Homo-oligomer: A and B are copies of this chain.
Amino acid sequence: MKNYTELSDIEDLQQLVTEALELKKGTSTLEIGKGKTLGMLFFNPSLRTRLSTEKAGKLLGMDVMVMNAGSDSWKLEFEDGAVMDSDKAEHIKEAAAVLSQYCDIIAVRAFPDLKDKEKDEAETVLNSFKKYASVPVVNLESATGHPLQALADAITISELKKKDKPKIVLSWAPHPKALPQSVPNSFAEIIQNLDADFVITNPEGYDLNPEITKNVPVIHDQNEALKDADFVYVKNWSSYDNYGQKLSEDRKWTFSAEKLKLTNNAKVMHCLPVRRNMVIADEVLDSENSVVIQQAGNRTFAAQAVLKRILEEKVKAKDLEGNA
C-alpha cells in the first residue's frame, strides 16, 4: 500500500481485516514505526479519527505530530499559478513538500464545502497533498470519502456476522445540518467488496452518487428495506442531486425501536458522532443491538493495519533499492 486515500488502495480487503483483528489482540510488540514520524493535519474537527490514528501510530512505535491547519499554522493556497496577494500565506506545493521532510506519513482531514459538486469531487486538498508530498498520504476523511471509517466498519461486521452473506442496510436518517456524503459513500463502496446482501434506503432526492452505488438496490420505503436486515448502518447525508442541500428533516426516518423490530434483530451501526433521538433513538443506542462503540474502538486497529502496511511497503521499497 503506497497511500491510503481511497478504498481502491486496498488490494486484499479480507487479508487487511484479518490483520487488523490480529493487531487488536495486541500480543506482539511492533517496532516497525520506530524512528518514523506520522504528521496529522486537521482542517476540520475530529475526535475518533484524531485519537484513534494518533494511538495507532504510537502503537506501531511512531512519533506523532498533530496540527490544526489554519489555527496552529498558515492558511493554504491550493490554486495553481495564483498570485498570492490574499490572506493565504502558503501554497500547498511548499506545505506538502516541507511536511514530507518532517514526516514519514502525512494524514489529512479536509471536509467538503457542499456548495460546488465539481469542486468537492476534485478533492483538491487531499489530491494536492498526494501530488506534492513525497511521502505516503492517508485520508482522515475527505470531501467524498472516509476510507479509515469504512475499514473499521468492515472489521466490525467481520467480527459480528453470524452468516456468510448477511443482509446489510444503509439507511438515511434526519439531521439538523447538511452533512457530507463521505461516510455513506465509503461504506457503500466497501460493502460492495464483501459477501453481503446490500441495500440502501433513503428518501427520494437523497440517492447517493450512482457511480459509487452502482448496482446496489436503492429503496425509498425504509420499512421495506429494513426487513430481515442483519446490520443496519444509520447515517444522515445531504442530497447529491440537489448538491449539498438538506431536503428533509423527516423524523419518520429516525431509527427507533419500532424500526428495529422490522429487522432480523439487527446490529445497529453509526460512525459517530450521532445525534441522539434525531438519527437514532436512545432506546436503540442504549440497547444491546447498538455496536457503535465497538465500531469506534475498531478505528484504532483499522488505522494501525493501514499504517503498518504503508510502513512495510516503505521497507520493501528500500530493500529493493538496496539490491539494485
Contact = CB atoms under 8 A, between A and B. Distances in A.
Nearest to A70: B45
A99 interface: yes
Given A82-B277, A102-B300, A58 B63 contact: yes
A310 interface: no
Contacts of A99: 47, 51
Determine the interface band of chain A, counting residues with CB < 8 A from chain B.
35 or more
A45 B67 contact: no
A293 interface: yes
Interface string A260-288: 00000000000011111110001001100
A296 interface: yes
A241 to B, nearest CB: 25
19 contacts: A42-B72, A46-B72, A51-B65, A51-B99, A52-B102, A68-B72, A71-B71, A82-B277, A84-B277, A84-B278, A90-B272, A91-B273, A94-B296, A97-B293, A97-B296, A98-B272, A98-B296, A101-B297, A102-B297
Interface of A: 37, 39, 42, 45-48, 50-52, 54-55, 58, 63, 65, 67-68, 71-74, 77, 81-86, 89-91, 93-95, 97-99, 101-103, 176, 272-278, 282, 285-286, 292-293, 296-297, 300
